[in-house]
């Protein structure tokens, strides 16, 4: 199963409310925050909406800890 590592790269200050809400619903709170999400159409749609604020990396493999930094759940 493919997963996506989503990292916030730009601030949501002075962005429309819908973009701020989308970034928050992805689980991102500040610049350089990263989350791992399953590769689903609804997540992809959210990423398209805020593609200028985030960086996306595809993670493949069977190890669920793959790509997760130490000390983070």
pLDDT tens string 18-31:
999 999 999 999 99
**What is the per-residue DSSP string for 7-33?**
EE-S--TTS-HHHHHHHHHTT--STT-
Establish how many alpha carbons lie within 13 A of residue 55's alpha carbon, considering only the half-sphere containing its beta carbon: 8
Which architecture does CATH list for 3-59? 2-Layer Sandwich (3.30)
Name the β-bridge partners of 36: 5
Domain ranges, ordered by start, for the chain: 3-59
Q: What is the pLDDT of residues 22-61, one digit of tens each?
A: 999 999 999 999 999 999 999 999 999 999 999 999 998 7
Phi then psi for residue 19, to 5 deg, are -70, -40
Name the β-bridge partners of 56: 6
């Amino acid at each position: 199963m493919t997963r996506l590592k989503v990292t916030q790269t730009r601030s949501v200050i002075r962005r429309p409310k819908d973009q701020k809400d989308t970034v928050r619903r992805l689980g991102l709170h500040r610049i350089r925050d990263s989350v791992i999400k399953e590769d689903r159409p609804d997540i992809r749609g959210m990423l398209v909406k805020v593609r200028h604020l985030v960086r996306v990396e595809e993670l493949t493999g069977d190890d669920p800890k793959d790509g997760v930094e130490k000390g983070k759940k």
